[in-house]
Structure 1
Amino acid sequence: MGGMTTTAPQTTTPTRAPDPWALFIRSRDGLITVATLVAIFVHLILWFGIGLDGWARDWPLVVVVVLGGIPLMVEVAKSAVATRGGADTLAAVSIITSVLLGEWLVAAIIVLMLSGGEALEEAASKRASGTLDALARRAPTTAHRLLGGTFAGGTEEVPVNDIAVGDLVEVLPHELCPVDGEVVEGHGSMDESYLTGEPYVVSKSRGSEVMSGAVNGDTPLTILAGRPAQDSRYAQIVGVLREAEENRPAMRRLADRLGAWYTVVALVLGGLGWAVSGDPTRFLAVVVVATPCPLLIGVPVAIIGAISLAARRGIIVKNPGMLENASRVRTVMFDKTGTLTYGRPAITDIHTAESFSEDEVLALAASVERYSRHPLAEAIRAGAEQRGLELPAVTEVSEKPGQGLTGVVGGRRIRITNRRTSHEIDPGSRDLIPVTASGMESIVLVDDRYAAMIRLRDEPRSSANDFIAHLPKKHNVDKLMIISGDRESEVRYLADKVGIEEIHAGVSPEGKLTLVEEHNRRGPTMFLGDGINDAPAMAVATVGVAMGAGSDITSEAADAVILDSSLERLDDLLHIGARMRRIALQSALGGMALSIIGMILAVFGLLTPLMGAVAQEVIDVLAILNAARVGLVRGPLSDFDEK
C-alpha cells in the first residue's frame, strides 16, 4: 500500500479558456454596451466640450438608441411572457417614453443598463462550455496499443478512439489511463482522486479494474480494454455534466421578481393619470419617474460589492446570480471527502503482533516511508511525528512491483505492503491480520513476518460537528445529508461523527445529479464537493460550492470556490449572500417606494416629465449609494469560529 510515488501526469499544456472580456465584447449585447458608452461619451463632449445643442449634440445618442435599442426591445418582448414581466419590460417602456419625450440621454442610459446586464448574463452562461472544455482538455487523447495483440510485438501510439474492446494497451508511468479496462500484466498503483474525490492512490495488480482518466504511478501496466473510449466512465461523467448544464432550471432574477409587480403598478398609475386628466403627458411623467434604475443598477452594484467582499475572504464567486440564493438555501448536501473531512488520511489505530509495540512498528514504518510520497506514507510519517517518535536510520530502500516498499532499518528488513502480498510472503499472517470492512490499511512486515496493520481513514474536521449544528440554528437549513461514492461503512462513520442522519453511499455522478434534482423541487439547494464526480451535481444545484481549487473542472462547474477549503469561509459565503440580498432589497424596495410616491404626484400633475426625470436621478443616486455598502465591511462576518 505505501511507497508508490505519484507525480503530475505528462500531458500537453491545455488551451487557455476564453477570456471573459473577449466573450463579452464578441456578443451582440456586449457590442451594444460598448457602442452606447462611446455614444454617451461623444454626446457629453459635444455638449460640455464644444457647447452644441439640439440634434448636433444628440445625434450619437439617437443612432445608438435606434440601432441598439430596437433589437433589445425585441428580445425583451420575446422574454416578457417567459419571465412573467420584470424590470426589463418596464425599461423597454421607459426607452419608448424617453424617445417620445426627446430625452435621448435617458434612453441611452437605459439601453446601456439593459445591454450590459444581458451581456454579463451571456458571459456567465459560458461557464457550461468552459467546464466541458476543461474536461475535454484533460481527457486522454492517445493510447499505446500492443501490436498484434501480443506482448512480443511492441506498441504503437494511436488515437484513443481507435481502441476497441479486447485491445491490449500499455499505460506508461505517470500517464493518464486511456480507457476503462482490467489489468492483465504489472503491479503498481493509480491515482483516482481526480475522478472519485477520495484522496487515495489505489493499488493495481492483475485483475484490478482501472478507469479512464486515472493517473498511473511509477510502474507500467498492461490493461485489457473493457469498453471503447466514448463509453468510458470519464465519457459518461462528461455526458452527465453536459445534460446537467443543458437542463439547468432557470432562476428568476431578483430584479425580475420585484419588477413584475412594479411594472404593473407603474403602467396602471400612468394609465389612471392619463384617463383622469385626458393629458397623455401625465402617463409620460409617471413612466419617467418609474424608470427602474434602483433595480437595473442598485441590485448589480450590490452584487459587485458582494463579489469583492467574498474575494477579500478567499472566496471566488463564479456565478454572481448565486449570491441572490445563498441565504435562501434550505437543503445542504456534502460530498464526503474534502468538505467535512480534511481530504487526507490519518492513522486511526494500529494492530500489532504479540512481539511488537505500536510505537516500535510505527517508528520503523515511518523511517521507510520517508522515501515515499504516497498519501498513506505521509499519514504514517505524521502519525509518528505526533507521537514524538525518533526515526532510526534506513540503510537500504527499494520498491519492486508487487512487493511494496522495502527498507533495511538496524539490520532488520522492513516491508510495507498490502494484505494480499502479506499473505503471499507470510502465509501465517492470514490468521493474524484482523478483518476490516472500512478504511485504508498498510501491512508492516519485519524480516518477512507480520508485525502490524496500520489502519487509516480520512478523519472529519475538528469543527465539522459544530458547523453541522450551526447551519440549522443560524442559517435556517432544515435538511442535511452526505452523498458519496464511497462505501456505506465509511460514509456512516463520518455521518455519525459530525451529526448527520441522512446518507447516500456508493452513489455515481448520475445518482448525485438525480438526488440534487429531486431536492431542487423542494426548494433552494447547496452542494459542496471537490472532485470531477461532483461537477454534474454542482452544476444543477441552486448553489454549487467547490472546496479548494484543486480541480479546474470542479471549479468551473461550481458557482463559488472556497480557496482554503475552510468551513468558516463557507459560513462567510452564506453571510455575504444574506447581506447582499438584504441591502439589495433595501435599495430596490426603497427606490421603488420613493418612485411610487413620485408616480402618485405625477398622476395628479404635481410632477412634470422633466421634474420626474430629475427626481428619478436623485432616487437612483440614493439607491446606488446604499447598495455600495455591501462591500464596505472590514470586520468579521462569520459567526462560526472554526477551530
Structure 2
Amino acid sequence: MNYFFQDRLNAGLLAIALAGLVSGLVLSLTGFPTAAEFVWTAGVIPVLVALVVDIARSLRRGEVGLDIVAVLSMSAALLFGETLAASVVALMYSGGTSLESFAEGRARLEMRDLLSRVPRTATRHHNGALEEVDLDTIVPGDLLLIRQGDVAPVDGTVASERAMLDQSALTGESMPVGLERDSEVMSGSTNAGEAFDLMASRPAKDSTYAGIVRLVETAQKSKAPMARLADRYSLVFLAVTVSLASAAWWFTGDPVRAVAVLVVATPCPLIIAVPVALVAGLSRAAHFGVLIKGAKPLEAMAQIRTLILDKTGTLTDGRPQIVTIENHGTLSDDEILYFAAALDQASKHPIAQALVAAAKARGMQLPVPQEPDETAGEGVSGSIDGRAVIVGGTGFVAARAGASGSSEALAEPGAVIVALAVDGKPAGHLVMADALRSGMAELLSSLRREGINRILLATGDRRAVAEAVTEGLGLDAVRSDLTPDQKVLLVLTERKNGPVMMVGDGVNDAPALAAADIGVAMGARGAAASAEAADVVLLVDNLDRLLPGFKVARGSRQIAVQSVIAGIGLSIAGMIAAALGHITPVQGAILQEVIDVAVILNALRALRIKA
C-alpha cells in the first residue's frame, strides 16, 4: 500500500509541476509576466513541501541524502527571482522520481512475476468429488487436480500417467517439460497440458515455491555495500556542490551562478544508478533460475575468486545410476533389472528407488511384490511372478541363496554392487554409481574464464571415491573425509586467496555455506537448512546455473560503476560550466535531467545481460 501511495503522490506532484510550468509559459508568452511568475511559484511549492517532509523523515532515520540539494536549488531559485528555473527543477525532479520508480519497477519484473504467481487455493479430491480448499489445509498425501493453466500449489509427484509442465518462471527454460507418473513436481510450475492429478508431498508453507517467495521478499528489502557506499559518497558530493556554488557566488557576486550550480546537481546519478542496476541484476538472475537473496550478495558474487564444491548432489547427481548389468545364468539384462526393481518396490532405500526408477524409465510394468521381507540396509527377499527373489548387497544375497555371489571389492571406488538371486541361484548383479553431472569439465573451464582462480572439492567421502569421481576435472585440490566443521575450516583457510563461494545441498553443508562469503544451495532437491544458510539458491537442480549467475553479478556491478562514473563526471563538468557562467539555471535543469535519463537507461542494461 505504501508503494502504491508513493507512486500516486509522485504522479500527482509531476502533474502539478507540469501544469505550473506550461501555464506559466503561456501567460509569459501572452504578455502576463507577473502572473506567470506567480503560477510558476505555485507549481513549485507542493513539490518543495513534499520534498522537505521526505527529508525530515530521512533525517529521523539517520539518513542524509542529496535531496537536500534539490531543496536548496528550488529555494534559491525562488529567492533570487529565477521562478522559471525553479519550475523547471520542480518538473525535472518530480519527473526524475517517477522515472526512477518506473525503472525500479521494470528492474523487478522477473521477481514480481514470481510473486504474482502464488496460488491462493487448490482443487482437492475428496470422497469421489472435487472441493476448493485453502492452501493451508493441504497435507502430504492429498490428491490435487491441476487443471490446464493452473500453477502447482505444493510440491508433489505426478499421480496421472503423464503431465506437461511449464517451469519457465522458475528456471528460465522456455520449453515445457514432460513428466511421467511418480515424477517430482516443483510448486510454482504451470500445467501446460491436459489436467493431471498431483499427490502432495509437503504442506504449502514448506513447499519449494513458498520458500522462493520468502527469499524474493528478503532480497527486495536488501541494500548492497555499493549502494551504502553511494550514500556516503553522496554526502561528499553534497559538500562539493555547496562549496562550488558558494565559491561561484563569492568570487563573482552573482547569486544566479550559485543557483545554476545547485540546479545542475539536482538530482544526482550516484543515488539513482546503483540501486537500479543491482535490482535489475537480481531480476535478471531470477530469470535464469538463480535466486540471489539481495543486492549485497549480488555485489559480493561479482568478486568471488575461490569456488568450493560439495560432491554428492552437487558435483554428482546424487541419485545412483546403473553403470553395467552382468548375468550369471540364463536371465537377460532386462530380466535381471525387472526382478530386482519389482522386489525393490518394497524398499525405500535410495539404491532400491533408483532401480525402480530405472526400470520404469525403460517402460517396464512392475508387478506388486509378494511377501516382501526387508533387512534394513542390506536387502529384500520375496516373490515375483511366483518365483523366489532375493536382491541386495552381495553378502546378503550370498548368505540367503547359499552361494558365493560377486564380491563388493569388484566395484570401482564410489560404485555399489546390487546382487540378485532367483529361485535360490545367483542370477546376476548390477553395478551402480553416483555419476558425475554431465558437462562438468566444460562448466569448470567456463567458470575459470569468468575469473574463478581456484576450484576445490570438499566431501565427507573417502579419498579413493573423491579422486575417482573428479578425475580429469582439473581441480586445484581435493579434500576428503571432512566433517561439517572441517568444511568450515577449509572455507576460512581459503579466504587468504580472496572471496570464497561454497556450493552444497545437504544439511551437513549448511555451516560451510554460512561461513563462506557467498553460500550457494542446490534448491530443487537440497535440504531446507542449506537453502536457509545460503546467499544464493539455484532453483534448478543443475550446477550449470552458476555460470549465468556469475555473468549477471559481474555485469550488473560493472554497469552500476559505469553509470556512476559517467553520471558524476557529466554532473561535475556541468557544475563547473555553471560556475563559470556558461550555463543558466534553466539550461542546467534540462542538462541534469538528460544526464539522469541516460544513467537510468544505462543501468537498465542489466536486464539484457546475456548468459
TM-score interval for Structure 1 and Structure 2 normalised by the shorter chain: 0.5 to 0.7
Q: Which runs of 5+ in 2 are unaligned?
A: 24-37, 79-85, 109-139, 142-218
CA distance change for structure 1 residues 432 and 572 in 2, over 3 Å: closer, same or farther? closer
Offset at 1:460?
0.8
User: What letter matches 2:355 in structure 1?
Assistant: I
State how far apart, in whole Å, the 2-side matches of 1:379 and 1:358 are: 16
State how far apart, in whole Å, the 2-side matches of 1:586 and 1:377 are: 55
> Equivalent residue for 2:433?
457
Offset at 1:515?
3.8
How many residues align structurally?
Answer: 468
CA distance change for structure 1 residues 506 and 94 in 2, over 3 Å: closer, same or farther? farther
Offset at 1:570?
2.6
1:277 aligns with 2:252: yes
1:71 aligns with 2:57: yes
> Equivalent residue for 1:484?
459
CA distance change for structure 1 residues 42 and 467 in 2, over 3 Å: closer, same or farther? closer
**8 Å Cα contact 1:417/1:442 also seen in 2:** yes
State how far apart, in whole Å, the 1-side matches of 2:508 and 2:473 are: 23
> Equivalent residue for 1:493?
468
**8 Å Cα contact 1:292/1:592 also seen in 2:** no
Q: 1:400 aligns with which of 356, 364, 373?
A: 373
Q: 1:328 aligns with which of 290, 297, 303?
A: 303
- Relative to the length of structure 2, the TM-score reads 0.62
Instruction: Within 5 Å, give how 1:256-267 maps onto structure 2.
Output: 266=241
The SS at the match of 1:549 is coil
Q: 2:321 aligns with which of 334, 341, 346?
A: 346
> Equivalent residue for 1:40?
10
Q: 1:605 aligns with which of 568, 576, 581?
A: 581
Offset at 1:630?
2.9
Offset at 1:593?
1.9
The SS at the match of 1:565 is coil
Offset at 1:373?
6.3
Instruction: Within 5 Å, give how 1:3-152 maps onto structure 2.
Output: 36-46=6-16, 53=39, 57=43, 60-73=46-59, 75=61, 89-95=65-71, 98-99=74-75, 101=77, 105=90
Offset at 1:475?
0.7
State how far apart, in whole Å, the 2-side matches of 1:424 and 1:623 are: 75
CA deviation map 1:150-207 (0-9, x unaligned): xxxxxxxxxxxxxxxxxxxxxxx99xxxxxxxxxxxxxxxxxxxxxxxxxxxxxxxxx
User: What letter matches 1:501 in structure 2?
Assistant: D
**8 Å Cα contact 1:37/1:112 also seen in 2:** no
Offset at 1:619?
0.7
The SS at the match of 2:275 is helix
1:584 aligns with 2:560: yes
CA distance change for structure 1 residues 461 and 401 in 2, over 3 Å: closer, same or farther? closer
**8 Å Cα contact 1:36/1:112 also seen in 2:** no
Offset at 1:529?
2.6
User: What letter matches 1:314 in structure 2?
Assistant: G
Offset at 1:409?
4.3
CA distance change for structure 1 residues 487 and 501 in 2, over 3 Å: closer, same or farther? same
The SS at the match of 2:443 is helix
> Equivalent residue for 1:628?
604
CA distance change for structure 1 residues 42 and 290 in 2, over 3 Å: closer, same or farther? closer
Q: Which runs of 5+ in 1 are unaligned?
A: 1-24, 26-30, 78-87, 124-172, 175-244, 639-643
User: What letter matches 1:565 in structure 2?
Assistant: D
**8 Å Cα contact 1:94/1:288 also seen in 2:** yes
Offset at 1:461?
1.5
Offset at 1:278?
5.4
State how far apart, in whole Å, the 2-side matches of 1:486 and 1:292 are: 57
> Equivalent residue for 1:297?
272
State how far apart, in whole Å, the 1-side matches of 2:600 and 2:293 are: 23
Offset at 1:566?
3.5
**8 Å Cα contact 1:513/1:536 also seen in 2:** yes
CA distance change for structure 1 residues 526 and 413 in 2, over 3 Å: closer, same or farther? same
Aligned-residue sequence identity (percent) comes to 31
Offset at 1:617?
0.8
The SS at the match of 1:546 is strand
State how far apart, in whole Å, the 2-side matches of 1:92 and 1:533 are: 50
The SS at the match of 1:434 is helix
The SS at the match of 1:561 is strand
Structure 1 stretch 620-629 or stretch 533-542: which is displaced more? 533-542
**8 Å Cα contact 2:304/2:500 also seen in 1:** yes
State how far apart, in whole Å, the 1-side matches of 2:462 and 2:391 are: 24
Q: CA RMSD in A?
A: 4.7
State how far apart, in whole Å, the 2-side matches of 1:440 and 1:260 are: 64
State how far apart, in whole Å, the 1-side matches of 2:522 and 2:70 are: 44
CA deviation map 1:228-269 (0-9, x unaligned): xxxxxxxxxxxxxxxxx9xx9984437458758756765664
User: What letter matches 1:470 in structure 2?
Assistant: S
CA distance change for structure 1 residues 391 and 615 in 2, over 3 Å: closer, same or farther? closer
User: What letter matches 1:43 in structure 2?
Assistant: L
The SS at the match of 2:375 is coil
**8 Å Cα contact 1:39/1:60 also seen in 2:** no
State how far apart, in whole Å, the 2-side matches of 1:510 and 1:588 are: 42
CA distance change for structure 1 residues 614 and 379 in 2, over 3 Å: closer, same or farther? same
CA distance change for structure 1 residues 346 and 285 in 2, over 3 Å: closer, same or farther? same
Instruction: Within 5 Å, give how 1:155-554 maps onto structure 2.
Output: 251-253=225-227, 255=230, 266=241, 269-270=244-245, 272-274=247-249, 276-277=251-252, 282-291=257-266, 293-348=268-323, 361-369=336-344, 374-381=349-356, 396-402=369-375, 404-409=379-384, 412-418=387-393, 421-422=396-397, 425=400, 429=404, 432-434=407-409, 438-448=414-424, 454-472=430-448, 474-520=449-495, 522-539=497-514, 541-551=516-526, 554=530
> Equivalent residue for 1:575?
551
- Relative to the length of structure 1, the TM-score reads 0.59
Offset at 1:365?
1.6
CA distance change for structure 1 residues 518 and 379 in 2, over 3 Å: closer, same or farther? same
Structure 1 stretch 517-526 or stretch 422-431: which is displaced more? 422-431
**8 Å Cα contact 1:484/1:491 also seen in 2:** yes
User: What letter matches 2:372 in structure 1?
Assistant: E
**8 Å Cα contact 1:583/1:630 also seen in 2:** yes
State how far apart, in whole Å, the 1-side matches of 2:75 and 2:514 are: 42
User: What letter matches 1:400 in structure 2?
Assistant: D
CA distance change for structure 1 residues 292 and 107 in 2, over 3 Å: closer, same or farther? closer
**8 Å Cα contact 2:280/2:604 also seen in 1:** yes
The SS at the match of 1:498 is coil
Offset at 1:414?
1.4
State how far apart, in whole Å, the 1-side matches of 2:294 and 2:573 are: 35
